[in-house]
Amino acid sequence: MPALPEPRGAASEALLAALRTPPHPDLALPEPDDDEDLQLSLYCCYELHYRGFDDVAEAWEWDPSLLAFRAGLERRFEADMLALAGSPEAPADEMDVALRELEASDEAPSLSKYVEREATAAQVEELLIHRSAYQLKEADPHSWVLPRLWGGPKAAMVEIQADEYGGGRADRIHAELFAGSMRALGLDSAYGAYLDRIPGVTLSTVNLMSLLGLHRSRRGAIAGHLAMFEMTSSIPNRRYAAGLRRLGHGEDATAFFDVHVVADAVHESVAAVDLAGGLARQEPALAPDILWGARALLAVEGRWATHLLTAWEQGRSSLLAGARSPAAA
């Protein structure tokens, strides 16, 4: 398990101090100072539902006072997401058609094209460090929804997730393949190794998945999130692999991306038609939330890509201060 990170404000400082002690009912934590403080605090609360942290009592996971604190963070985060992605709206067409129209209308800058054509070795290292916050636990946030589905949507979800977890082969689990890519680039592939260097704009992309996955009431949104995730994955991963090859890397670095080129091309239809579309047909009231989950994904990913590209255009690191960053040299 990873060590607890360094705090980024009053809320995360008080939270991390509390987690080093046994759970206690009189927990009182301050409001976050800013978005960095909010995102790290929320990420740490969610991480207790994944692998946890060294020297943190497992009883904290369901401690009522900590859950109350997390609920306050979630309300603030949800308000930010609604401001960024807009309010849920019913689709005008069948769900798979609406998702494809949403994908086609996305105007976010293409990070994958930049990596394919001109990113430096140092910038690609930064990209993998950013992505390690999610990719080292790839598929886990979406898997929270499985017990909340039934019938066709559940079968579709299982089909997708089975591939994500390597089809029963530990060495083919996508999180393990990503760890291999990190090692091939000389990076530390230990789970959580770079948490202190990953900014809130990146943590928000992971927190969104955890927020939607952990709440049954947001099962539509996490299904829409996954559908759009799969629909927009194949081509960018082909470009990332091409960028790595341009920089002289071999299969040990590209295997993760190459697998997604093939797998996600298959998953795209399953996710859009059978998972998201099937869920909308099964529970029509969830249709606005399904579409919102997809829109929220595009919004946070677009904001994240803009952050990286802006930093690199300005000749500085896209990571937090102190990171190993030849990109800014």
Pairwise CA distance, residues 81 & 296, whole Å: 7
Pairwise CA distance, residues 143 & 50, whole Å: 11
Residue 322 pLDDT > 70: no
**C-alpha separations of 241 from 127, 135, 251, 254, 327 in Å:** 13, 15, 9, 5, 19
Name the residue with higher pLDDT: 186 or 27: 186
Pairwise CA distance, residues 28 & 253, whole Å: 45
What's the chain's average pLDDT?
Answer: 95
Identify the pLDDT of residue 326. 38
Identify the pLDDT of residue 264. 66
Residue 325 pLDDT > 80: no
DSSP class of 70: H
Residue 323 pLDDT > 70: no
Cβ(289)–Cβ(218) below 8 Å: yes
Pinpoint the residues of the chain covered by CATH 1.20.910.10. 91-328
Q: Which of 329, 320, 328, 299 is nearest to 129 (CA)?
A: 320
Fold of 91-328: Heme Oxygenase; Chain A (1.20.910)
Please tell me the pTM assigned to this model. Answer: 0.95
pLDDT digits 0-9 by tens, 221-268: 999 999 999 999 999 999 999 999 999 999 999 999 999 887 767 788
Identify the pLDDT of residue 262. 78
Ramachandran assignment for 120, one of left (phi > 0), alpha (psi -120 to 50 degrees), beta (any other): beta
Furthest C-alpha separation in the chain: 56
What's the pLDDT band for 301 if we cut at 50, 70, 90?
very high
Residue 327 pLDDT > 50: no
Cβ(129)–Cβ(324) below 8 Å: no
Arithmetic mean of pLDDT, 212-217? 98
Arithmetic mean of pLDDT, 299-316? 98
Residue 90 pLDDT > 60: yes
